[in-house]
Amino acid sequence: MATIGLIRHGLTAWNELGKAQGISDISLNEKGLRQANAIAERVSGGHWDIVCSSTLTRALQTAEAICDKLGINSIITDDRLREINCGLIEGTTEDERIFKWGKNWRSQNIGMEPFEEVAKRGMEFIEEVCSTNPDKRILIVSHGALIGLTLQHLLPQVFPKTHIDNASITMINLDNNGWECSLYNCTRHLESMNLN
């Protein structure tokens, strides 16, 4: 049975400002680095074989903190784990989007990557890493939309909608009956440190 831990990167300055990040390469801020250390401490309580990450800095910084804590020497990076390409809205807040494109900005052609494509590449990566590493325990550090849309594709009856917090962990398992989710968007490790 494959076990996957899906981790969203720690907080960035743009997260705090409510700006769409997409594929803009934004680093973790000070609180985000502390969150990365907190999730690293959380997962160090279990055995993990492999750490994978998006190629964007905020995810890599989170993955590096995890690897340091686990004593894992290498990170498998893959562009398929990058965040949704937000097109013209990258770097804007909701108020700025409404001012520029109106309240129906989501229905306009502003260069956003289709949700189906995001889910497809997330699924492809998970299926590939599971098939090449059967019965391994794998941590994947990625982004809110990528994780959420992939979960909606994997388990549509369980996840008609999703919300993925910074530095959260979601656990999914694959067995002969298919995928199941045993833990969703858990941030317990942040609460005691006032990091959520």
11 is in an annotated binding site: yes
Tell me if 142 is assigned to some domain: yes
Total count of domains within the chain = 1
Is residue 196 a part of any domain in this protein? no
Range of the domain at 20: 2-191
pTM of the model: 0.96
How far does Cα 170 stand from its chain's mean position? 9
Active-site amino acid positions: 9, 83
pLDDT digits (tens, 9 = 90+) for 34-67: 999 999 999 998 899 999 999 999 999 999 999 9
Q: Tell me, what's the pLDDT at 134?
A: 86
Tokens of 73: 């020497």
Rounded to an integer, what distance in angstroms lies between the CA atom of residue 21 and that of residue 89?
A: 8
9 is in an annotated binding site: yes
What pLDDT is stored for residue 2 in this prediction?
87
The answer to whether residue 160 sits within a structural domain is: yes
pLDDT at 161: 95
Cβ atoms of 75 and 51 closer than 8 Å: yes
- Tell me if 185 is assigned to some domain: yes
d(CA 111, CA 69): 39
CATH number for 115: 3.40.50.1240
Q: Which tokens hold the place of 17?
A: 């400002």
pLDDT of amino acid 43: 97
pLDDT bin (cut points 50, 70, 90) of residue 193 is: confident
On whether residue 16 sits in a domain, the answer given is: yes
Of all residues in the chain, the percent with pLDDT exceeding 70 is 100
Report which of 1, 2, 4, 37 is spatially closest to residue 122, judged by C-alpha positions. 4
Residue 80 lies in a domain: yes
Position 140 pLDDT exceeds 80? yes
Is residue 34 a known part of a binding site?
Answer: no
Determine if residue 65 is labeled as part of a ligand binding site: no
